[in-house]
Structure 1
Amino acid sequence: MGENKVSRLAFVRWVIACIIPIVLFGCGGSIDSGNSGSADGGRADNASPPQAAATVMIYVVGSDLESKSNQASNNLKDLVAATASKDVNVVVTTGAANKKDPAGLVTDWTTVRRYVVQNGKLQLKEDLGKANMLESKTLSDFVIWARNAYPATNYRLVMWDHGGGTQGFGTDEMFPDSPSMSLPAMQTALATAKQQTGIHFDLIGFDACLMATTEVASALAPYADYLAASEELEPGSGWDYRTVFSSLAAQPTMDPVQFGRIITDSYIARQKKESDEQVASGALARADSDITFSVTDLSRVAAITEALAPFADELSSYAQRSTDNWTRLARERVLTTSFGAMSSHNHIADLADLGVFADRLTAAGITTDTGRRVSSAVRNAVVYRVNGQLALSATGLSIYFPSRQLTQDDSTQYAKLDFSPSYKSLINAYVKFADLQTPLITIDTSRSSGAMLRAAVTSAFGQKDAGLYMTSPTQTPGVVQVLAGRPIGVGSSLSGGITTKMDDEWYWLNGRLATVELLADETRMIDGAEQTVSSLGVGVFVNNEFSVLVFERVEGSETLTFVGRYEGESSSSISVSPRTDNDIKSTDKVALAIVSYDLVKQDVVSVQPSEMTFDAGKLELKQLGVQSVTSDLRMMVSDFRETSQMTAPIPHSF
């Protein structure tokens, strides 16, 4: 079943925040303070235990998730509450958060500490002082120490923090200017550990957003047998560590596929349970609707990269033949299932589901057998996957293909990855072709009159999306405020015309005119039949924090159902991705987002909350007409190169 997703329009796309509090770990378990009486459980002796069936290493980069929300501590409680086994070693490294808590399970997060889980306690083994957890040496030192101190038949590694897919992993509050751990840095760490100890992992898992990418899988293939990760942002409490490690204790020799299935199934079950509880306690939407998780056989990833070479060569040749070809390829990319959609304009993940992308290009006639071979290789490599209702088409591995941010800088960074040369060459050629062309959008609305908009649109790079907006002037010349807006045309690969009634189909949120953007059109199976479902986004501030409220409408229905929100801050400099936060209550205070737009630069200047706030209530979005408009009406078109053009005021009388 296909899923067609169209891109965010300019306002939502450009102002959505970068860092959403990522709730990766769940609460649970109890703390045993140990014989020493310290929260760290006291120092254990340094004698190495005999070889076990499995040693699991957990690399907990605390970051703001711990300092602001205690998320790592909450999950460590869950971990120590799990059933233990003498045949399973569980070792943990913590750090990277600007936090000290004398009563906490970990009393000091500002230094890098090593622990072992023993007798229901977190036993402190070493305090290494301050060290950057995003540097490859810190990770390799941990793996080498754990391998030598806790030998086992099988080794597994869990990486915990923010994730950014191809852009890397983790943030360290103690080293705020440090970049995320890149994939090359991660490879260096694992290669060093392998060289010094011979260690090979049977599974590497990420309790972090967006790490189930083809590039990550390819990077880790020399060092592990399986990858367990999510294509999409992770909501809620992430993995269910209590279930995972209790299951492993009950069967220490379980193979990595079974271990990965338990991670996957318990993760999905936990999200469902917590969503049920949140809705029962007054939350207006579920957090488990768009989750994904997959287990990939890394020995089969080479077949994917081999299939990518002719696939990429064919696409590169096709795209560079003409602007029309480039635009048709860009359109198929826009319509492909995408992940990490709520990243900031500066740090967009731009990850597309590889299986779906290959299928779309084959169906569109852009690729031949090369697309089918890529799709088949992906489905063969992903040995287990489970998706939420809003992500049923996801095939288990994503890949970077720029859509919302086309810059030479991004393709240059991507070129540094140890990945398919042909595919990296495609990305470079694709971005370079767009960069060398002169984007041109012309919009003629002169034939509009009364309540009827008649627009002729010419765009060298197609018409990606379009909207009609109510605006008012500001004290700054050339800058207008956007008071309300609605989509009027999305996803055409060619130029053309748009005709619509200007007084009809405006959106009202709890009785107030709002700016609404079309986020996605997708095909889903509903009651045994394929139906198109549209997702709409409304920019608001919830309790003074910028959010996008997401509503859905099934084709043929007038009902708009609230399904969740994306929450975030308006500024950040790190490249990891945000997380969905669907927990909104009826008593939360909501203010519509007011966008200031520069007509000269054709860009968003700022986003501020309106002065009037209201209770979320039931969050009702309705589509109604307007009898009169005293503000200006303007149309905006965005092309597939991410260039936008807003018009002068459109003649109207109603």
Structure 2
Amino acid sequence: MSSKIRVIVSLALVIICGFTFNSSLSAANKEAEYTLIVYLNGCDLENGIDSDRINKKTNPKGLKAGATNDVLNELRESSFDDRKLNVIVITGGTNEWLQKEPAISTTQCQAWRIYGPDKNKFMEKVKETPPSMYMMDKKTLSDYISWAIDKYPAKKYALFLWGHGGGPIGGFGVDQLNKDKSISISDMQEALKKALKGKQFDLIAFIACLMGNFETAYKLKDCGKYMVASEELEFDDCFEGIIKGLSERPNISGKDLGKLFIDAHFNKVQKWLNKKERENLYTFSVIDLAKISDVKNKWDNLIQKLEERMKSKNKSTVRDTYRFLAIARGYSESYNEYTRSGSGLTDLYEFSNFISLLCNINTDELQRAIKDCVIYNKVCEYRSASHGLSVFFVDRKLEYNLGTDSDLIKYEPQAPSKLYSNFISRYYNTLFVQNPSKLIGEISFIKVPIKNQNPKSYPPVYFVDIDPGSSGDFLLVNQIFFVIGKLEVSGSNKVFKTLCIDKDVNNDLSKLSIKFTGNQYCIGGKPIAIYWDGNVERWKNPKYIPIGSFAVKHKGKMKFLVVTETKPNVVKIIDTFDGDYSPSGKVIMPNGFDVGNPDNLAEIKKDPTITILYKVDGNYVDGPEVKLKISKLEDGVEYLEISKSSLEDGEYCGAFYIEDVIGRGTWSFQKTFNIKSSKEIKTSEAQGSNVPMTVNQSL
């Protein structure tokens, strides 16, 4: 080849290569409609509590797969144009990923680009960082978000934070590689602001529990235009619906994307609800972050008015303020309550409404601000009093629901204002650490006998007449139960064995009486002690669906079965978990427990024989062995059901247990009675048939 020809060919190659390179560079930098960033914290949701979860659609072979694997499989099955939509998944925080191909690192964070089913490759690793950069460190979050925004430019951006949520005190995520550390919302705020450099996400969505709170929304107000989150425990996700919606409407606003997510997610959940496969605590809302400052200002105004009353020189004003605040908090919607461990969170709108009613302070402006800020809200019947935004306000001693007293110290940097953090600290230390009885009074039934309204009727009806002058402030009542058991000899003492707990007492507090009727939840004629959630205000709502749990032994292992009342006098078992009890006697469910997962009941359905466990002097003892009833719906779905029936003949002992709005419990006198037959009830003539309840135990 002549030198002239070689020069021409070389120039041609340079031109061709140059055009090819520039074209490729242009395509890579071309602005997409949306960049979707999923911060996927595997934690024990991947390899622990949800490791046996199987989505039959995305995992037809039924291979062992965790919850994060469901996310990746939903993305795998979603068709989209990756020129218009960038989907970036950042993985980390777990010591075992169940997905094998492609392999995800268990020692370092990685970023993946998702391509969908129309490409030769489903996901491609595009970044990884040293093992020293842990997923829940603010620097890691900031660096990955900054990198994704720069690398994948778009007209709009959405951030989905997937993992455990613990509200304003617990923060977001759990890093198994770094002592189960979470990232606080104040650190998250700092990380996102640094990464965004003055920009905003069009949507920030938490697929995590308890993150639909005022504190989180206020901290992230400069980081996003809209926020989607749940006030309650959250479960599952709906990335398939999100991707489909973005493909159909690529220029959708952040507000409408939030609504789209909630609708798609709710429809997915509704299919389970319609099949009665599970019951769920569903709350999700879209929050306009541009309007959260108005909520904060109105909330601070209310706090200032309350603080002025709490500092009043008039002692009765001070007492009334603390008393009515405690009552308002006790009556308001609370979250994570069915776990009986609590979160300290209550619905901001309902709480302010009770403050208005009880403290005679107008909260109309605050409630209007909340309605303007929460632009979309979907809830289940169980959470009908949820309005889309919760707030932290203590309702009992912190060691009973949040772990330790240091949580108030942890709350300070997460609070929406210094004014509020100081207020809540003063409120807690004054009411809970000092002597609450001197400040707000108490309920005492110790001198009130139980009377039998009609000894020969069946079922029996008992009532307690309350003298407000001697028994204290009845408005402080939060929960009322009639506890039925048997007195058993233990050495030189008699101990009380709890057999069943009846919440269906008359809770019309204005009549100052409590009534009880005798049918109880039994399995094979043997009573079970269901520990119920909720309070007297909730139980007045006909739409309220109570959830409770009772202890059993299955194949030698202690379990708690979770139940819900699906119709009068019938409960359905919707889940099971391994757990323990807190010092207050409340059930502690596993962190991130997904209530209503039918897969958890598979082993019990295979072998429905259980041993009922009864509580005696604070400890569990074996009761009778029984067999659960398995019923079937029209479509063949199996479920476990328990009905009320009359107690077996014999002598029983009953007492009313009342818990007040700040978690203090008290017992009435106990009453012994004989059930002679299903048609005749006679009170026992034995000595001590109406004596004080001496057993030192709480529910």
Farther off after superposition, 412-421 or 251-260: 412-421
SS at match of 1:108: coil
Q: Give the Cα–Cα distance (whole angstroms) in 2 for the partners of residues 73 and 449 of structure 1.
A: 59
Amino acid at match of 1:411: L
Q: CA deviation at 1:649?
A: 5.4
Q: Give the Cα–Cα distance (whole angstroms) in 2 for the partners of residues 52 and 81 of structure 1.
A: 21
Aligned to 1:624: 646
1:405-432 Cα distance to aligned partner (Å, 9 max, x none): 4465333322221413333333223212
Change (3 A) 1:476 1:372: farther
Aligned to 2:172: 169
The answer to whether the 8 Å contact 1:406/1:642 transfers is no
Amino acid at match of 1:570: D
Q: CA deviation at 1:648?
A: 7.5
Q: Give the Cα–Cα distance (whole angstroms) in 2 for the partners of residues 164 and 476 of structure 1.
A: 46
1:178-228 Cα distance to aligned partner (Å, 9 max, x none): 432111121121122134xx4421110011111111111001101111001
Amino acid at match of 1:512: K
Farther off after superposition, 515-524 or 384-393: 515-524
Aligned to 1:612: 625
1:352 aligns to 2:372 (yes or no): no
Farther off after superposition, 201-210 or 48-57: 48-57
Larger radius of gyration: 2
- Count of matched residue pairs: 579
Q: CA deviation at 1:344?
A: 5.8
Unaligned runs of 5+ in 2: 1-23, 52-65, 312-316, 400-404, 456-461, 583-587, 631-639, 674-682, 685-699
Q: Give the Cα–Cα distance (whole angstroms) in 2 for the partners of residues 102 and 355 of structure 1.
A: 43
1:58 aligns to 2:38 (yes or no): yes
1:67 aligns to 2:88 (yes or no): no
> Where in structure 2 are the equivalents of 1:465-476 lying within 5 Å?
465-467=479-481, 468-471=483-486, 472=488
The answer to whether the 8 Å contact 1:111/1:127 transfers is yes
Aligned to 1:132: 134
Change (3 A) 1:507 1:475: farther
Aligned to 1:595: 615
Aligned to 2:564: 551
Aligned to 2:212: 212
Question: Which of 50, 73, 79 is equivalent to 1:77?
Answer: 73
Change (3 A) 1:447 1:523: closer
Q: Give the Cα–Cα distance (whole angstroms) in 2 for the partners of residues 201 and 483 of structure 1.
A: 54
> Where in structure 2 are the equivalents of 1:315-330 lying within 5 Å?
315-318=306-309, 321-330=317-326
SS at match of 2:641: coil
> Where in structure 2 are the equivalents of 1:3-82 lying within 5 Å?
49-68=29-48, 69=51, 70-82=66-78
The answer to whether the 8 Å contact 1:295/1:384 transfers is yes
Aligned to 1:410: 407
Aligned to 2:295: 304
Q: CA deviation at 1:442?
A: 3.8
Aligned to 1:23: none
Amino acid at match of 2:232: E
Q: Give the Cα–Cα distance (whole angstroms) in 1 for the partners of residues 415 and 386 of structure 2.
A: 25
The answer to whether the 8 Å contact 2:525/2:648 transfers is no
Farther off after superposition, 52-61 or 545-554: 545-554
Q: CA deviation at 1:151?
A: 1.7
Higher relative contact order (CA 8 A, sep 6+): 1
Aligned to 1:366: 359
The answer to whether the 8 Å contact 2:382/2:546 transfers is no
Change (3 A) 1:479 1:52: farther
Aligned to 1:182: 184
Aligned to 2:383: 391
1:513 aligns to 2:527 (yes or no): yes
Question: Which of 77, 86, 94 is equivalent to 1:89?
Answer: 86
Q: CA deviation at 1:378?
A: 0.8
SS at match of 1:180: strand
The answer to whether the 8 Å contact 1:168/1:576 transfers is no
1:37-71 Cα distance to aligned partner (Å, 9 max, x none): xxxxxxx99x9543222211111110111113111
Amino acid at match of 1:426: F
SS at match of 2:661: coil
1:379-411 Cα distance to aligned partner (Å, 9 max, x none): 101111222232233211111122244465333
SS at match of 1:390: helix
Identity %: 21
> Where in structure 2 are the equivalents of 1:434-453 lying within 5 Å?
434=431, 435-439=433-437, 442-445=444-447, 447-448=449-450
SS at match of 1:310: helix
Farther off after superposition, 449-458 or 465-474: 449-458
Unaligned runs of 5+ in 1: 1-43, 598-604
1:540 aligns to 2:534 (yes or no): no
Change (3 A) 1:396 1:297: same
The answer to whether the 8 Å contact 1:504/1:626 transfers is no
Q: Give the Cα–Cα distance (whole angstroms) in 1 for the partners of residues 104 and 126 of structure 2.
A: 14
Aligned to 1:339: 335
> Where in structure 2 are the equivalents of 1:182-261 lying within 5 Å?
182-195=184-197, 198-235=198-235, 238-261=236-259
Q: Give the Cα–Cα distance (whole angstroms) in 2 for the partners of residues 155 and 201 of structure 1.
A: 5
- Normalising by structure 1, report the TM-score: 0.78
The answer to whether the 8 Å contact 2:523/2:627 transfers is no
CA-based RMSD of the aligned residues comes to 3.7
Aligned to 2:3: none
- Normalising by structure 2, report the TM-score: 0.73
Q: CA deviation at 1:355?
A: 1.5
Q: CA deviation at 1:492?
A: 8.8
Farther off after superposition, 468-477 or 148-157: 468-477
Q: CA deviation at 1:262?
A: 1.1
Structure having the larger proportion of residues in helix: 2
Change (3 A) 1:476 1:311: farther
Aligned to 1:8: none
Q: Give the Cα–Cα distance (whole angstroms) in 2 for the partners of residues 271 and 609 of structure 1.
A: 37
1:291-337 Cα distance to aligned partner (Å, 9 max, x none): 11111110000010011012122334456734454333322222222
Farther off after superposition, 614-623 or 572-581: 572-581
Amino acid at match of 2:367: S
